[in-house]
Amino acid sequence: MSAARGYALVTGASSGIGLAIARELAAKGYSLVLVARRKDRLDALALALANEHRVDAVAIAFDLAASGAVPALLEAVRARGLDVEVLVNNAGFGMQGRFLDMDMAEVERMMCVNASALSHLTQLFAREMVARGHGYVLNVASAAAFLPSPYVSAYAATKAYVMSFSEALGYELRGTGVSVTTLYPGITTTEFNDVARAATPAAMNLSILPASAVARVGVRAMFKRRRAAVPGFINKLNAISCTVLPRGLIVYVTGKLLGRANGW
């Protein structure tokens, strides 16, 4: 099996966009480090990708919300003698509902996975990339990053953090050979909405894309070292609208749509 180039590490690789990105990278000849909580899914995926694409695929089960998980993941990668050339920070989940009704422990866990763990992983692996003079970071944010979103307020805030952090870090890394690309998916056919217990407004159905399409856009933008990628025409239009329309109006309309869809 080929391991001539560095490995691509993908978090949240067991389903959805992370799984689709892992498939895209394997098809391009990248050996993989697959990270997620569900070991059974990871092991099956690693075997399938290795057999299909003749790459090495290493499955490492970690809960990135656990204390000390990120340094432990780095050590697990080092112990296997693997150089990570591509880091895909995809792991994350959402919570939908009235913020005052949410379990704060679960909110903090979401913040840890979506923002803290992403930042820590980026710091540790990008340091090694910079030392080698080459690498790619793909941070998966969300279309929700562009505006405060009622009923997903904390989740949208974590993705706004990913946007700001990634774009600023990309500037810091100019000239190092390491780039940071941010992917902003809209509604995607994954398990995400089931986990978030979210209903989708009918007006947004036309923007829904399969995870495979989102992954292709993100991987292509990453290897072109682009700053950002927004999959789908309607999602691009929404992103532009968020920059030109009055912010209060956008928040009001978003709140009305999500509230009506979920009976609030």
Rounded mean pLDDT of 4-20? 93
**pLDDT reported for residue 238:** 81
- For the chain, the residue count is 264
**pLDDT reported for residue 1:** 38
Residues 6+ apart with CB under 8 A from 257: 201, 203, 204
Q: Which amino acid is at 110?
A: M
Q: What is the pLDDT of residues 131-154, one digit of tens each?
A: 999 999 999 999 999 988 999 999
Phi, psi of 115 (to 5 degrees): -120, -55
Nearest Cα neighbor of 209 from 187, 230, 239 is 187
d(CA 4, CA 18): 23
Above 70 in pLDDT, residue 199?
no
d(CA 45, CA 23): 9
pTM of the model: 0.89
**pLDDT reported for residue 151:** 94
Q: Quick one: CA torsion of 238, 114, 175, 231, rounded to 10 degrees?
A: -30
Q: What is the pLDDT of residues 74-117, one digit of tens each?
A: 999 999 999 999 999 999 999 999 999 999 999 999 999 999 99
> Per the structure block, which two tokens stand in for 37?
């909580």
**pLDDT reported for residue 144:** 92
| Residues forming the active site | 155
Phi, psi of 182 (to 5 degrees): -110, 130
Rounded mean pLDDT of 22-48? 96
> Per the structure block, which two tokens stand in for 128?
């090694």
Above 80 in pLDDT, residue 196?
no
Q: Which DSSP category does 55 fall into? A: B
152 class by beta-carbon count within 10 Å (0-12 exposed, 13-18 middle, 19+ buried): buried
Check: CB of residue 25 under 8 Å from CB of residue 48.
no
**pLDDT reported for residue 219:** 98
Above 50 in pLDDT, residue 2?
no
Above 70 in pLDDT, residue 198?
no
Distances (CA, A) of 81 to 45, 76, 107, 109, 223: 21, 9, 35, 30, 24
Share of the chain above pLDDT 70, in %: 92
What is the rounded average pLDDT for all residues in the chain? 91
**pLDDT reported for residue 171:** 98
Domain boundaries 7-262, CATH class = alpha beta
Q: Which amino acid is at 97?
A: G
Above 60 in pLDDT, residue 3?
no
Q: Which amino acid is at 66?
A: A
